[in-house]
Amino acid sequence: MKKDKVYKVLAISHGLSNSKAKELCDKGLVYMHGKRINIARAIVDIDTKLVVKEQAKLSILLEDDNILALNKPCFMDSYELEKKFAPYKLLHRLDKETSGVIIMTKNEEIRSKCIREFRALKVYKEYVAVVHGLCSDEITMNDLIETKKFKTKSRSFVSKKGKPAITIASPLSYMGKKSKIKVLITHGRTHQIRVHLAHHSLPIVGDFEYGFKSKAQRMLLHSKRMKILDYDIVAKEGKEFDI
| Integer Cα distance of 168 and 48 in angstroms | 44
Which of the residues 47, 77, 95, 137 is marked catalytic?
Answer: 95
Strands 221-228 and 178-185: unpaired
- pLDDT of 17 reads 94
17: exposed, middle or buried (C-beta count within 10 Å: 0-12, 13-18, 19+)?
exposed
Residues of the chain with pLDDT under 70: none
| Integer Cα distance of 2 and 11 in angstroms | 16
- pLDDT of 203 reads 98
- pLDDT of 31 reads 87
| Integer Cα distance of 7 and 24 in angstroms | 8
Q: Cis peptide before 87, with omega less than 30 degrees from 0?
A: yes
Write the CA distances from 140 to 76, 135, 182, 185, integer angstroms: 30, 12, 12, 10
- pLDDT of 219 reads 95
Which domains, from first to last, does the chain contain? 3-52 (3.10.290.10), 59-241 (3.30.2350.10)
The rounded radius of gyration (Å) of the Cα atoms in the chain is 19
Nearest to 165 by CA among 181, 143, 182, 147: 143
- pLDDT of 147 reads 96
Say if CB 133 and CB 201 are below 8 A apart.
yes
Q: 182 φ, ψ to 5°?
A: -95, 135
Query: Is 95 annotated in the active site?
Result: yes
- pLDDT of 213 reads 79
Say which residues have a Cβ less than 8 Å from residue 162's Cβ, sequence separation at least 6: 143, 144, 145, 146, 147, 189
Say if CB 126 and CB 225 are below 8 A apart.
yes
Say if CB 105 and CB 67 are below 8 A apart.
yes
- pLDDT of 55 reads 81
Residue 67 pairs with which residues in a beta bridge?
105
CB atoms within 10 A of CB 41: 10
